[in-house]
Structure 1
Amino acid sequence: MSSTPIRYGATVKEEPRDDPDDVLFNSLYGVRTIELNRPKKLNSLNGSMARKILPRLREWEKSQMANVILISGAGPKAFCAGGDVAELALQNKEGPEGQKKSADYFGLEYQLDHLIATYSKPYVAIMDGITMGGGVGLSVHAPFRIATEKTVFAMPETTIGFFPDVGGSFFLSRLDGEIGTYLALTSERLQGVQAFYAGIATHYLDSSVLAQLTTRLSELVFKDYASLSERQQLINSTISEFTSSLPARDSYEKAPYGHLSGSLREAIDRTFKYNTVEEILAALRKEAESGDEMLAQWAQATQKTIALRSPTSLRVALRQLREGKGWTITETFIREHKLAVKFMEHPDFVEGVSARLINKPPTKPVWKPSQLAEVTTSDVDEFFKMPSPEDALVLVDPHPEALDQNYTEYPHAVFALPSEKDIEKVVRSSYGRQGTKAVIDEVVQRWNHKAGVKEKVQEVIARKTRTDGNGIAWKSQDANL
């Protein structure tokens, strides 16, 4: 981290030309709400919105009356479908000056995302509806991320000649196994409770109870001396009060191969573990010869999907996930800003956005280079050059009670389902020698009987352990190759 230049500065201010109504702010006792208000644009984030949210978040940090921050999207379709990339692509066509404007937008967006990731007060994101790209940045780094039956999560950046940004280097690389790699390279969508089981969301609620939840959160009373952790624990238990029974993760029509569990999950880890796109494609070709018809169809479809993506984006995305495992939360946004600046200068971004989002009807993008073999290591190296101190992203000056600016694991991970590493630790302890039930009971107890924990532990045990006498043992890594 010491080699990454870090600069802090003042919070941005709203500009006269900004739309006065694209974000709505409200107060309900101790709750402060942010409502993204561009429903016709699926609440896509733009500079005007970011310039409103940033200073308001800083203002609330200083207020003793603001206990909980809650962000949501207007309308029935989306929380936030991403950044307004069509506007950015049009700017880029203006040349270096337009590219600089686009790069500045990403700097503003990443300032906001970093502030959320290190925020000094409880922050709740309602991921009700489409949550992609920029919407992920506004939610995924928060301690509380609520998915509903309407949630549609994706990081679709490689489809438009970009890379999975907004902190994707950090959160995708820390998901279980190779889930993050799979989502980054394929832009696969997760529906509803699938986002919860994958670790994207911390809670799953039916959308019909969201208004009641807001009211309930507004009634919470915190002791003046309560720590952030204590406040978050109370919020966590309050959200859990509204959790009803969870739907099956494979109950969605758009999940023909199942989703991120069982044999499909094993195949994802098996094929996406490699450090080159060519090796991943070779593994998928081998998987396509599988005797399991479902897995063979999945592998064939996944090969076709990857073939449609920008070759440059694929190479950059894979490398960012591998390197991002070692980045701190602050380093992540500084390095990603450098990546974004480079992509604004690359032809694939304008081509991808134009083909997919601007052209009517949509056209097939013509990537440059068009083949993986034509994207060299030196080409990719250019994206990962360390920014100079003068060019490094300027972050918002942190509040005295902000989270550690250099954490390498989410400090609030306990509010989500246990990770496979958490479950592995219990299996490798004395509980594993006592058998499956002992492991499940122990993890469920550690996670305060959170809905979904038992189901996840059962799935992980079935996939990652073997019978060992009267107990169970964690399979070695080689056993799943």
Structure 2
Amino acid sequence: MPLRAKVTNPAFGATASMSTSPVPKEKRGDEPDDVLFNQLYGLRSIELNRPKKLNSLNGSMVRKIFPRLKEWEKSHLANIILISGAGSKALCAGGDVAALALQNEEGQRGQQASTDFFGLEYGLDHTIATYSKPVISFMDGITMGGGVGLSMHAPFRIATEKTVFAMPETTIGFFPDVGGSFFLPRLDGETGTYLALTSERLNGVQALYSGIATHYLHSSVLANVTQRLSELTFADNLGLQDRLDAVNKTMAEFSLGLPSLQEEPILLAGGIRAAIDRCFQFNEVEEIFAALEKEQEQKEWAQKTLKTLSSRSPTSLKVTLRQLRLGKKWGITETFQREHDIAANFMRHPDFVEGVKARLMSKPPRQAEWSPATLAEVTTEVVDKFFTAPEDQEKLQLFSEGDYHQYPHQRFALPSEAEIEAHVRARRRGADDVINHFVEESGHKEGVAEKVSEVLGRRLKKEGGEWKWI
């Protein structure tokens, strides 16, 4: 990363000396036109162009994107980077796991090639996470797996009425990678644990309320947003944070409002949200199952969730839960290096090939036959091995410098429950005062009042004339 990035944004400064690898380049045989690059004034766009495969990400696409990002980072003419998907159905439905599964069946060489792909993908995600210019992702349509990796680490993540977010990896015998170790544990309460283990989907505005998206716009305005962003100009001495603030204000110009809560109530809210925190707070999957079995206040939800979890790979569930608990302490660099080790081990595990074939390649999809088939058979020792690199696997070398333990652009999302709690504990104010504070602080950002009201409805109580957090 250029030195000026460290000056304009100290949060991206590396916490330790870190060498970077040469930027990947295209190979002979890579697909032509699977990524389209365009420029309009100061805007540089990356359009994933495999609409028939829901823009699923492969090595050919990653190798094309890398050099463009590096080129634009050095260019004084490139102000903003936009990531989008061709067609009307998806930004990106994930990595091309069907191709990886077939490759794995070729044996050790194929498994290593699959592991190498994940190394490339994680390197790209890390580059986006530490980029020195504003990056915007249009999560317009299906945004899962690898598509989440291209989005979640960008300062601006735009959900629309067509957004379908999920991390569906446990359904195919894998784990929520692409930085899931970082962003999922940092979501409110245990919602990240719930989304990771169950692969629950968030549609449209729910991505905003949950903290996955930073903005919600109607898909009909995205072309106008693109045009307006291209017209933004920045003085050479303007720091990254000021540039990000300018982009944030521009987004607000195009909002057509959020769906009413009567039309689309917050999904992870109220009693369900409280039950998620109760049942998914544990560090062992068996304890989560036991809590769901005992759950009475949201019994119907608990039984449905138990059924969902029972169909998932037991190995995936246990590795994922360990990943999330450890990931709370990982920086963004360690996250991708650790996930590369985990991915390497999954490429050598039978559940990945079985899961992909059962869920994505069989017509109709069938229930996978997991190995081991039960949670009891997935011992602590088995899980431990996933967090150790295979003997022949070197530590992942990344392509950009920069590290942090909290997103430096978190302020563009709705306020987190932790931020609301801190304010309440410090001020001891009533609901109206708290809501007004966050609405004013956000510049009247849409969704703030609704989010803060929901949190306070669950957690704020008046005792002895004083407001308390419960």
TM-score range, shorter chain: over 0.9
1:448 correspondence with 2:443: yes
Report the alpha carbon displacement of residue 209 of structure 1 after superposing the two structures with TM.
0.4
Give structure 2 stretches of 5+ with no counterpart: 1-13
Separation in 2 of the partners of 1:82 and 1:76?
16
Aligned partner (choices 267, 288, 295) of residue 275 of structure 2: 267
The residue aligned with 2:286 is 278
The residue aligned with 1:128 is 140
Do the aligned partners of 2:85 and 2:91 also contact (CA within 8 Å) in 1? Answer: yes
Note the 1:70-469 alignment, pairs <5 A.
70-248=82-260, 251=263, 259-287=267-295, 290=296, 292=297, 295-385=298-388, 391-398=394-401, 405-430=402-427, 432-433=428-429, 435-469=430-464
Do the aligned partners of 1:11 and 1:397 also contact (CA within 8 Å) in 2? Answer: no
Q: Deviations over 1:162-208 (max 9, x none)?
A: 00000000000100000000000000000000000000000000000
Separation in 2 of the partners of 1:412 and 1:4?
21
Report the alpha carbon displacement of residue 389 of structure 1 after superposing the two structures with TM.
11
For structure 1, which segment, 450-459 or 154-163, has the greater mean C-alpha deviation from structure 2 after superposition? 450-459
- The 3 A distance-change label for structure 1 pair 123 and 250 is farther
Q: Deviations over 1:228-273 (max 9, x none)?
A: 0000000001001111221146746xx9xx6101111001111000
- The 3 A distance-change label for structure 1 pair 81 and 395 is same
Separation in 2 of the partners of 1:310 and 1:7?
36
Percent same amino acid at aligned positions? 63
- The 3 A distance-change label for structure 1 pair 100 and 251 is farther
Q: Deviations over 1:126-154 (max 9, x none)?
A: 00000000000000010000000000000
Separation in 1 of the partners of 2:362 and 2:326?
35
Do the aligned partners of 1:44 and 1:80 also contact (CA within 8 Å) in 2? Answer: yes
For structure 1, which segment, 378-387 or 88-97, has the greater mean C-alpha deviation from structure 2 after superposition? 378-387
Separation in 1 of the partners of 2:392 and 2:61?
28
Give the alignment's Cα RMSD to 1 decimal: 1.8
| Partner SS for 2:268 | coil
Q: Deviations over 1:401-448 (max 9, x none)?
A: xxxx22100000000001011111111122x24x22111111111111
Separation in 2 of the partners of 1:10 and 1:388?
24
For structure 1, which segment, 417-426 or 226-235, has the greater mean C-alpha deviation from structure 2 after superposition? 417-426
Taking structure 1 as the reference length, the TM-score comes to 0.92
| Partner SS for 2:197 | helix
Separation in 2 of the partners of 1:32 and 1:387?
39
| Partner SS for 1:10 | coil
Do the aligned partners of 1:5 and 1:389 also contact (CA within 8 Å) in 2? Answer: no
Q: Deviations over 1:313-360 (max 9, x none)?
A: 000000000000000000000000000000000000000001111122
Q: Deviations over 1:270-326 (max 9, x none)?
A: 100000111101111111xx2x5xx21111110000000000000000000000000
For structure 1, which segment, 340-349 or 381-390, has the greater mean C-alpha deviation from structure 2 after superposition? 381-390
Give structure 1 stretches of 5+ with no counterpart: 399-404, 476-481
Separation in 2 of the partners of 1:82 and 1:158?
13
| Partner SS for 1:239 | helix
Separation in 2 of the partners of 1:223 and 1:471?
49
Separation in 1 of the partners of 2:261 and 2:200?
15
Do the aligned partners of 1:6 and 1:392 also contact (CA within 8 Å) in 2? Answer: no
Do the aligned partners of 1:144 and 1:201 also contact (CA within 8 Å) in 2? Answer: yes
Report the alpha carbon displacement of residue 363 of structure 1 after superposing the two structures with TM.
2.0
| Partner SS for 2:158 | strand
Amino acid aligned to 2:200: E
| Partner SS for 1:394 | coil
Report the alpha carbon displacement of residue 386 of structure 1 after superposing the two structures with TM.
5.6
Do the aligned partners of 2:344 and 2:389 also contact (CA within 8 Å) in 1? Answer: no
Separation in 2 of the partners of 1:54 and 1:205?
28
Separation in 2 of the partners of 1:101 and 1:4?
29
